[in-house]
Chain A
């Protein structure tokens, strides 16, 4: 038995939003792989829940008419990684969420839950940040659009206001077109582990494949929230594909991160990881885009 107090079971998003307005203290329950565990651990014992797991309108992925990719929040990690639209246009997102937990966890865990938790280690967060995803946040007043880069307010804190529910994650065509990405998760174990550090890079090369047209880089566990390294991004604009590029990425990343020491790793080790992973992830992304370093 889970020790919760009240359970509300809406049959539509609209009803879910109404229930949330009536019971602002109640938590939306998606896949439950965080909430049900926190209830077991006692941290959320006695809470009220609004069960949205069965709301099919919040599940699935589609390619919209304007070319943007819409990911509904209740889509499981398994379904994200297997979906043909993701595999074709943003395979790195599938590769990133395929490194979460184990098969059972990836079947129940949802991408919306992953980012709404607001933890810095969320494996989907870095790639979604690096692709400038836009969030569609519903309330009874309508839909609010928010760049995902502005969503995280602090550890475990996100910009979901009273009565709001995430109902869509959108990646614009301009953001993924002619763009290749790579994600590296550094963890102690190959499975069932939380990232010690995560790095997601995507690049768009110039048509001759010799220069960076656009590079975006994001880190997880390198700061209290998942972050983009804008210093690096502006420095490498138009840069030739060579070792110097990797040096700039590697050194530049250090100026945007602020990792801490935890039981998993020391601050110093994380800084070393930032430098090395920024370099390796960028190199891999460039190669996936058809470029070669010093080629």
Chain B
């Protein structure tokens, strides 16, 4: 099968990947770019473990053709750290709140939560649950994940006001 060049911005850097056209975006980002935060969980768009942001919106990279990424801006968990390599507030909150157990689902949950923590108005716990309803966690029971997202969102809103 033919290969094709895909030009996109991944975690702030312009990149070109030569991919087999049959590749999924998860194949490309994990296989070609070495971004191991992307997990091949269910591979059918049910578990959310491969969630990345494409032009700011969460997508399951396992059911997204790599060639569709042409010209897109992609953010993965690796792109959340600052230039010194320090982790972001939402990642720290997951640690602090005990929202990580086996850790397999964590990158997907964190990426799915980005649009919520960037909101200017506080979300209810129900709204947060709805925003992460495309992600499965088999360990935590979700409560601590919701705590981490809620606290990060509240902190950011405070900082914006401050």
Contact = CB atoms under 8 A, between A and B. Distances in A.
Nearest to B54: A107
What size tier do the contact residues of chain B reach? 20 to 34
A63 to B, nearest CB: 24
Contacts of B70: 54
What size tier do the contact residues of chain A reach? 20 to 34
Interface in A1-15: 1-4, 7, 9
Contacts of B48: 102, 104
A105 B64 contact: no
A4 B22 contact: yes
Contacts of A9: 67
A51 interface: yes
Interface in A101-142: 101-105, 107-108
A141 B100 CA distance: 57
B45 interface: yes
A27 to B, nearest CB: 14
A33 B130 CA distance: 20
Interface string A207-242: 000000000000000000000000000000000000
Interface in A141-158: none
Interface stretch (B55-63, B88-96, B141-149): B55-63
A192 interface: yes
B86 to A, nearest CB: 28
Contact of A192 (B24, B115, B133): B133
B contact patch SS: mixed
A192 B130 CA distance: 10
A188 interface: no
A186 interface: no
Contacts of B20: 1
A104 B44 contact: no
Contacts, number: 78
B58 A107 contact: yes
B152 interface: no
A113 B48 CA distance: 21
A264 interface: no
A78 B134 contact: no
A60 interface: no
A32 interface: yes
A7 B21 contact: yes
Contacts of A89: none
Nearest to A32: B63
Nearest to A78: B57
Contacts of A54: 68, 70
A36 B63 contact: yes
A103 B57 CA distance: 9
Contact of A51 (B44, B67, B133, B135): B67
A265 interface: no
Nearest to A108: B59
A192 B134 contact: yes
A216 to B, nearest CB: 29
A105 B21 contact: no
A29 B54 CA distance: 19
Contact of A191 (B21, B22, B63, B133): B133
B153 to A, nearest CB: 16
A173 interface: no
A40 B44 contact: yes
B63 A108 contact: yes
Contacts of A51: 65, 67
A190 B48 CA distance: 16
Contact of A105 (B22, B115, B130, B134): B134
Closest 7 CB pairs of A and B: A102-B134, A191-B133, A104-B134, A102-B133, A104-B60, A1-B22, A37-B44
20 contacts: A1-B24, A33-B45, A33-B63, A36-B24, A37-B63, A51-B67, A53-B68, A54-B68, A78-B57, A103-B134, A104-B45, A104-B51, A104-B58, A105-B60, A105-B134, A107-B58, A108-B45, A108-B60, A108-B64, A191-B134
